[in-house]
Chains A and B, each alone.
Chain A
Amino acid sequence: MKKLQKADYIKMYSFMLKIRRFEERAAQLYGMGKIGGFCHLYIGQEAVVVGILMTIDKNDSVVTTYRDHGHMIARGLDPKRIMAELTGREDGYSAGKGGSMHMFSKENNFYGGHGIVGAQVPIGTGIAFTHKYNGEKNICRTYIGDGAMNNGQVFEAFNLAALWKLPVLYIIENNKYGMGTSVDRAAAGLDLYKRGEAFGIPGEKVDGMNVFSVIEAADKAGKYVREGNGPYIIEVQTYRYRGHSMSDPAKYRTKEELDNYKQTDPIEIVKAEILKKKIATNDEIEKINKDTLEEIKNAAEFATNSPFPKDSELYTDVYL
C-alpha cells in the first residue's frame, strides 16, 4: 500500500471537510431558492472519493454520476466555480448551462457529471479506450451508483472493457439506496462487486466509511488496471446522510440506521488518526476547520453574486 506522509493526512482531512462544508452550504442555498432543480448531496460518502484521490495521477480521467459536487472538489476544482454552477451563473464550470448534475472540466480530465443513471459507465469505458488507443499509461476511473448496477448498459460496458482489456477502474459507490429503493429490494444478489465475475473482471468490497481502506483497495486496483490487465471493480460500502436529493425526506430508512452510520463518520476517523499520530494538534485542526468554513462561505458569496448567463448564451455551445 501507498505509504502515507503527514501531509497526506492533512490533505485527506481538508478535502473531506471541504466537501462536507460545501454540501451543507449548498443545502442552505437550495433552501433559500438560490439553487434550483435537482441537487444530490455527498455528505457521508466523502471517504470514497478522497480515498481514490490519494492514488490518482492528474492525467487519469474521471467520470461520475450526478452526485458529483464532492468529486469535483476532490479533483482540485475551485469550489467557487462549482457553487456558481449550482446557482446557474456564468462563472460556473458549465457557464450555468449544466447545473448540479452536469459539470465538466476538460482541462482537469473530469468528464462529468451525468444525469442519466448508468450512462456514464460506457462513456468512462470509452475514455479508457482512448487512453489505450493513444498508448497512454493513464486509466479512467468510472464511478457507478448501486442503483445503476441493475442497468443493462453497465453490463455491456463490462463486457467490452474485459473483451478489449481497457484501462478502466469501476468504483461502485454503494450507499444502500437507489433513490428510495434499498439495494436488497432492487438487486438479486447483494455482492455487487461480483457482477464482473462472468466477464473475468476481478472485484473487491471495501469499507467506504474508512478512507484508509479505500486507499488500500484503490492503490491495488489502480496498479492492476494501469499495468494493462483490463478492468477492475471496487465496491465501496458507504452511506449518504441526506436523502437522495433535496426533496427526499428519506422516510424509507430509520433514524437508528442513520445514527449508526454517523458513529463511523469518515471525517472523524481521519481526525482521530491525525490526533493519535500527533500529525497535528487540536489547534491546528481547528484552524483547518475555520479556514474551510471561510473558503466555502466565500464560494457561496461568489456564486450568488456571479451574474446570470447572458440571454445570448441561450444559443451558443449547441454546435462547435
Chain B
Amino acid sequence: MSTEILMPALSPTMTEGNLSKWLIKKGDTVKAGDLIAEIETDKATMEVEAVDEGVVLDLLFKEGEVNIPVNKAIAIIGDPNEKVEVKKETPIEKVIEEKKIEKNIETKIENKKADIIDTPSPKIEEDRNLSSEEITMRQALRDTMAEEMRKDNKVFILGEEVAEYQGAYKVTQGLLQEFGKERVLDTPISEHGFTGLAVGAAFKGLRPILEFMTFNFSMQAIDQIINSAAKTLYMSGGQINCPIVFRGPNGAAAQVAAQHSQDFSSWYSQVPGLKVIAPSTPYNAKGLLRSAISDPNPVIFLENEILYGLKGPVNNDINFSIPIGKANIEKEGKDLTIVTYSIMLQKSKEAALRLKEEYNLDTEIIDLQTLRPLDTETILNSVKKTNRIITVEESWPFGSVGSEIANIVQRDAFDYLDSPVIKVNSADVPMPYALSLEKLYLPQVDDIINAAKKVSYIK
C-alpha cells in the first residue's frame, strides 16, 4: 500500500508552499519522524517530517518548485514491490479549491475570478512608472523600508523577530543583512517597554519604524502610543514631535480566534495626534508607507496578514509616495457609493461586479487609504453624485470608522441622500475560533450586496 505525502499547511494563512529542498531521494527508506523536505511558507522555511513509513517511490516535485497548493501530493512512499500509478492531476486539487472558498481565505492570487478583481483601478494604470512585474504586499513594504533606510540613517526598525528571524511574516526579510544589527533590532517580547523606548528615541530625533508582530499586542503598549507619542507635541507647546511609524498586521487572519483577530482602526482613528493608514494593495502600501516614514508625526500603519501575499504592480520610483489624508476612487460609478479600506476593498470589488451583473447597479468604490485625517471631501462628493452610501469595514460596529462617516454624511449631505447610510461591520462579539463561525463573524460579499440592495430599495 502506498501513501501520498501532502504539502502541509504550516501556518494559519498558508495556502501554498515552495519546495526549497528534498532531504530524501527516491529509493530511501523513511521512518516516521525522519526529516523529508524543507518547505518555504508565507512566513518561514521549515523542515517537514514523515508521518508514515516506507520506501520513497516517487518525488512529485523538483527542488525549487514554487506555489504548490496545500494538500497537494508532493511524494509517494510505500512498498517498492507494489505498482503505483501517479495521476497528473490528483482530485485533491478540487478539494483544495472548495476548501479555500469555504474558508473564505482571500486567494485572489490564483483564483480566476480574482484576476478581474485585482485589475488595478484606471488611475493606477495611468501611472507611467508602473512596474511590469507584480510583487507582493510584503515585498512592497519591505522594499519601501529599505529604500527609506538607505536615504536616512536616522530610520531604524525594531520589533519582535524583525532581524534574525527575518520577520514573523517576512516583511523585514533581508533588512538585517543590509543594515546591520544597529539599525534592525530584535526586541524581547516586551511591547510596553520597547514602544516607550522607541517613542523616546523619536522625541530625541531618530525615526523609528516599530513593528508589532500583530496590532493585538499593541494593547500592551497603548499608553505609550496615546499618552506619550500622540500627545507630547501638544503638551510641549509644539516643541517635541514624535516621528515614528507603528506598523504590523491588523484584523483577522485565519482562525486565530478572539485575542489574535481584532481590528484597531477605529481605536486609533479616535486619537488626535495620530495619523492612521490602512493600505489595500502593494501599490498604495508602497506610496503610503513612504509618506508614513517621512511624516514628522506618529503614524499607525495597519497592514493585513491575509493581504501580505497579494500581488500587484507598484511604482518603483524611490520617491513615489501617496499623500496621507487622500482617498482613492478605486472605481467610478453612479448608482451608489461603497466606502471601504484595507482587506474589505477586495470584497467590495467582488460585490460591485455582482451588483452590476445581477442588479445592473453601477457602484462607486472609495478606498479610504488614510483613516485619520479622513478624506471627507471625496466621500461627500461621491454621495452628492450617487445619493446612496454604504460603509464596509472589518471592525466592530460600535463607534467604527463607518459610524463617523455616517455622521459626516448626514450632517453635510443630508439633502442629497435618497436612503439612510448603512454600515457593514464584523459581528458585535469576540472573534470565534470555529471556521463556520469565523465566516459568519466577518463581513462577506453577500452582506455587502444586501446592504447595497437595501440603500437602493431593491427587494
Which A residues contact B (CB, under 8 angstroms)?
A: 61, 63, 92-98, 102-106, 111-116, 119, 121-131, 133, 152-153, 155-157, 159-160, 163-164, 316-320
Contact = CB atoms under 8 A, between A and B. Distances in A.
A102 B296 CA distance: 21
Contact of A95 (B156, B196, B197, B237): B237
B359 interface: no
Contacts of A102: 232, 235-236
B273 A122 contact: no
B197 A122 contact: yes
A157 B224 CA distance: 13
Contacts of B201: 126-127, 129-130, 133
Interface residues of B, number: 40
A40 to B, nearest CB: 16
Which of B227, B235, B272, B297 counts the most chain A CB atoms within 10 A?
B235
B8 interface: no
B288 interface: no
Interface in B204-237: 204-206, 223-224, 227-228, 232-237
Given A106-B240, A123-B228, A159 B233 contact: no
A126 B197 contact: yes
Which of A155, A157, A164 counts the most chain B CB atoms within 10 A?
A157
B182 to A, nearest CB: 7
18 contacts: A92-B237, A94-B235, A94-B239, A97-B235, A98-B237, A114-B228, A125-B193, A126-B202, A127-B203, A133-B156, A156-B192, A156-B194, A156-B196, A317-B236, A317-B238, A320-B233, A320-B241, A320-B297
Which of B188, B196, B198 counts the most chain A CB atoms within 10 A?
B196
Nearest to B194: A160
Contacts of A127: 200-201, 203-204
Nearest to A85: B237
Interface string B271-297: 011010000000000000000000011
B204 A130 contact: yes
B190 interface: yes
Given A104-B232, A116-B223, A119-B223, A63 B200 contact: yes
Interface of B: 156, 182, 185, 187-188, 190, 192-206, 223-224, 227-228, 232-241, 272-273, 275, 296-297
Contact of A317 (B196, B224, B233): B233
A156 B240 contact: no
Contacts of B197: 122-123, 125-126, 129, 157, 160
Given A156-B190, A157-B197, 20 more contacts: A97-B234, A104-B239, A106-B236, A106-B239, A114-B228, A115-B227, A116-B223, A119-B227, A122-B197, A122-B200, A124-B200, A125-B193, A126-B203, A129-B197, A157-B193, A159-B193, A160-B190, A316-B238, A317-B236, A320-B241
A159 B238 contact: no
Contact of B192 (A93, A114, A153): A153
Contact of B236 (A112, A124, A129): A112
Given A123-B200, A160-B187, A104 B240 contact: yes
Q: Which 5 A-B pairs have the closest CB atoms?
A: A126-B200, A122-B196, A156-B193, A95-B237, A123-B200
A119 B202 CA distance: 15
Contact of A123 (B203, B206, B237, B297): B203
A119 B273 contact: no
Nearest to B200: A126
Which of A126, A128, A131 counts the most chain B CB atoms within 10 A?
A126
A171 to B, nearest CB: 16
Given A130-B200, A153-B193, A318 B296 contact: no
Nearest to A128: B200
Which of B182, B198, B236 counts the most chain A CB atoms within 10 A?
B236
A159 B272 CA distance: 32
A291 B106 CA distance: 74
A133 B253 CA distance: 36
Nearest to A154: B193
Which of A124, A130, A155, A156 counts the most chain B CB atoms within 10 A?
A156
A68 B196 CA distance: 19
Nearest to A131: B204
Which of A115, A316, A317 counts the most chain B CB atoms within 10 A?
A317
Contacts of A125: 193, 196-197, 200
A120 to B, nearest CB: 8
Contacts of A130: 200-201, 204-206
B232 to A, nearest CB: 7
Contacts of B199: 122-123, 126
Contacts of A128: 200
A294 to B, nearest CB: 27
A319 B275 contact: yes
A192 to B, nearest CB: 18
A88 to B, nearest CB: 11
Nearest to A122: B196
Contacts of B233: 317-320
Contacts of B223: 116, 119
Contacts of B297: 319-320
Contacts of A164: 185
Contacts of A63: 200
A98 B205 CA distance: 21
A98 B190 contact: no
Contact of B237 (A94, A152, A155): A94
A111 B228 CA distance: 11
Contacts of A122: 192-197, 199-200, 224
Contacts of A116: 223, 227-228
A94 B193 contact: no
Contacts of A111: 200, 203-204, 240
Given A122-B224, A125-B200, A156-B194, A104 B235 contact: yes
Contact of B228 (A93, A103, A119): A119
